[in-house]
Structure 1
Amino acid sequence: MYKPIINPFNPNNFFMSTPNAIANPAPLGLCAFGMTTILLNIHNAGFFELNSMILGMGIFYGGLAQVIAGVIEAKKDNTFGLTAFTSYGFFWLSLVGLLVMPKLGWAEKTSDTAMAAYLSVWGVFTLLLFFGTLRLSKALQFVFGSLVILFALLAYSRATGNASIGKLAGYEGIICGASAVYTGIAQVLNEVYGRTVWPLGPVQK
């Protein structure tokens, strides 16, 4: 069934869309990113150890589900969605790899300095994408803005060995992840009800 053109400046739309019969993959990608981020940062905040639950989420939901969402965004001719979802999907997969490969004897354990560099590069990448969100919804701006802060806190904690900053990053990461889940579910509810149920904020035209 042919879908009408969706206004890219409608705050109910997370990413810009083109007329086709493909469902919006953004809620899947947002919830995958958000829920995995929440669980990892509950660990960072000190509530439980790094365990198989986090690794499993990182591979199968935060990782693979976001890559799938990004591939669908490509079919919708959405460069921003493709770049964001596939990149963060592979971020989760690479993070699991960094944790698991040393245990399998495939590589040396990543040093704190190297981990700080890893997190810093992802923080800069996220900052650059944040500028793209200035043409999208306020909710999306919050997700990416808080993610930039999260990467900065985690990188600083690793570089300095400051555990208190790492714990602070955990709480900030929970907020970041929750904002992504909110944005994803808002899109689902707004589409189902055909009106703004959960607001996403106006976009910059």
Structure 2
Amino acid sequence: MSHIEKAETATHGSDRDGVPSLTHAHRVQRVPRKIGNPGPLGLFSFASTTLILSFYNTGVRGVVVPNVVVGMAMGVGGLVQLLAGMWEFATGNTFGATAFSSYGGFWISFGMLYIPGSGILDAYAAAPASELDSALGIYLITWAVLTFLLLVAATRRNLGLVALFFFLTITYILLAAGKFLNSTASNKAGGALGVVTALIAYYVGLAELLVRDESWITLPLGAMPKRID
């Protein structure tokens, strides 16, 4: 056997039938795949669902019954945003994972309110109207508390997120006040701020989507000062 044949046999090896087989020298090195940024997906899903419901709350085109948003709430604001939150855990972004997963759960729970089979609203059929309004007010004010906590956590990230959670907190408070006080004006004001919140979410999502290496333009998010220990 020549020196070349010996070298090839040592490199490739052979199975019991004499057919060359790859050894470590010729195996393909596996490179870990890079996980994409799930942030834009979660932000766009949140923004789209919030925009539709906020238009309904402000009475755009005379719409006052919000049931059309149920599909968006369950599929886009709920499921898609929840998936984005799970992938944020994979990227190591605990803040994004907590926010997206939480609001994904919010939209699913909100959509279930208006699904007849759930029986949630039917349970209040024999109760005074004020009881249902109070129950919904408590529901909304709880989300205002959670959103405020996320606002605190966002204060060292960027101005875009600070603005998003600030306006969302006020939106929840106004919508809750609309239920507690049976105030149409407060509900419409919450809807108007909800539109502003949705537009900010669109902007932040687009800013994260337009990365420098892949886009002609980038959008500023307003860097916050870093902590100095």
Shorter-chain TM-score bucket reads 0.7 to 0.9
1:191–1:93 CA distance, 2 compared to 1 (3 A): farther
The Cα RMSD (Å) is 2.0
Question: Which residue identity is paired with 2:189?
Answer: L
Q: Counterpart of 2:48 in 1: which secondary structure?
A: helix
Mapped to 1, the partners of 2:107 and 2:221 lie a distance apart of: 26
1:87 aligns with 2:99: no
Q: Does 1:177 align with 2:198?
A: yes
Q: TM-score, normalised by structure 2?
A: 0.76
How far the C-alpha of 1:81 sits from its partner, in A, is 1.1
Q: Which runs of 5+ in 2 are unaligned?
A: 1-29, 125-130
The Cα of 1:67 is off from its aligned counterpart by 0.4
Alignment of 1:164 onto 2:185: yes
1:128-180 CA-to-partner distances (Å, cap 9, x unmatched) read 11111011010000000000000000000100001011011111100001100
Cα deviations across residues 30-63 of structure 1 (Å, max 9, x unaligned)? 0100111011000000012335531111111111
Q: Alpha-carbon deviations, 1:4-47, whole Å to 9, x = none? A: xxxxxxxxxxxxxxxx7100000000010011101100000001
Q: Deviations over 1:80-114 (max 9, x none)?
A: 111110000010000011222xx226331470001
Q: 1:24 aligns with which of 14, 37, 40?
A: 37
1:192: how far off? 5.2
Distance change (3 Å), C-alpha of 1:193 and 1:105: closer
Tell me the CA shift for residue 188 of structure 1: 0.8
Distance in 2, matches of 1:43 and 1:203, equals 35
- Letter of the 1:156 partner, please give it: A
* Equivalent residue in structure 2 for 1:63, among 67, 78, 84: 78
CA 164–204 in structure 1, closer or farther in 2 if over 3 Å, else same: same
CA distance in 1, matches of 2:52, 2:149: 25
Aligned partner of 2:223 among 181, 202, 205: 202
Q: Structure 1 residues 189 and 142 mapped into 2: Cα distance closer, same or farther (>3 Å)?
A: same
How many correspondences in the alignment?
187
Match status 1:99 vs 2:114 = yes
Larger relative contact order, structure 1 or 2 (CA cutoff 8 Å, min sep 6): 1
1:33 corresponds in structure 2 to 46
What residue is the counterpart of 2:24 in the other structure? none
Structure 1 range deviating more: 105-114 or 21-30 = 105-114
TM-score (norm 1): 0.85
Which segment drifts farther, 155-164 or 104-113? 104-113
Q: Counterpart in 2 of 1:54? A: 69
In 1, the alpha carbon distance for the partners of 2:144 and 2:201 equals 17
Q: Give the corresponding residue for 1:42.
A: 55
> Is the Cα contact below 8 Å between 1:135 and 1:203 reproduced in 2?
yes
SS of the equivalent of 2:92 reads coil
Report % sequence identity: 35
Larger Rg: 2
Query: 1:119 and 2:129 equivalent?
Result: no
Matches of 1:80 and 1:118 in 2, distance apart?
23
